[in-house]
Amino acid sequence: MSWFVEGIHPEIRQSIRRDQVLFEGKTDFQQVEIFANDLLGRVLVLDDAIQITEHDEQIYSESISHIPLLSHPNPKAVLIIGAGDGTVLREVLKHKTVQQVTMVELDGALIKVCRDHFATLLDGAYDDPRLNLIIGDGAGFLASCEDQYDAIIIDSTDPDDNSTSLFTNNFYQNCKDRLTKDGVMVAQAGCPSYQPSILKHMRGRMLSLFGFGGFYHAAIPTYVGGLHAFAWGSDGIDLAALAEQNTVGLRATDFCTRYYSERIHKAAFYLEPDA
């Protein structure tokens, strides 16, 4: 037994006990660890940062997926950048209107590890015929892509050597250029309390590029700081206004969720993180 310690701020640390180490290894891009905890189940760690736990992964994956997709009137084509653990893909594929999901993940080895150790959690997502899986750089893909998408979901790690390109002005512009008229872009935006610089940067980009933009949030117990923000932008849909009007969420009755509901959808916009 040992303790995993994570910190996203020099003054804050969070510890979780490793009851059993299930996998340790290094891919071409990052250090990967999977361990079991009696309370949280299996825990995926990339470069010393928790990505998912079986206990609460649904909060993140359902928030970043269902809020944009249920705000769009008829999402058919979806682009996911990152999200190699597969949980966001699983949620996107629950939408019956979605005809194709293009997923671009830099680290193919990570996908294999997650398929081996989180097979039950993924529920066959990587075998769905609607999936077009591309192993490569998401920013490079967008720069050369000519397809249009109803939703673009950016599930990146925090800015570092492997993901810095996903936080540039050019990247956000390329996302905008690849959206349909009512298309929506959503990206994870970190912890408002301990990573305000990320939110400030993303707020500036979203508001300068899109007609509508802002943040919504979810409380994720195993993420340092608890409260996690998601940035969104669209030229055709005001996600916050739709949430306030209670005009979204009806299609959610077509599938099962562990966290998402119409009330959660509306509440996600009530405590908009101040960036």
Known catalytic residues are 155
Asked whether residue 158 is marked as a ligand-binding residue, the answer is yes
Asked whether residue 274 is marked as a ligand-binding residue, the answer is no
Residues 205-240: b if buried by 16+ CB within 10 A, e if exposed: bbeebbebbbbbbbebebbbbeebbbbbbbbebbbb
Asked whether residue 85 is marked as a ligand-binding residue, the answer is yes
Asked whether residue 105 is marked as a ligand-binding residue, the answer is yes
Q: What's the N-to-C CA distance of the chain in angstroms?
A: 39
For residue 215, list its beta bridge partners.
231
Asked whether residue 235 is marked as a ligand-binding residue, the answer is no
Main-chain phi, psi angles of 58, to 5 degrees: -65, -25
Asked if residue 82 lies in contact with residue 103, where contact means CB atoms within 8 angstroms, the answer is no
Where is the binding site for S-methyl-5'-thioadenosine, in residues? 30, 105, 137-138
Where is the binding site for spermidine, in residues? 85, 155-158
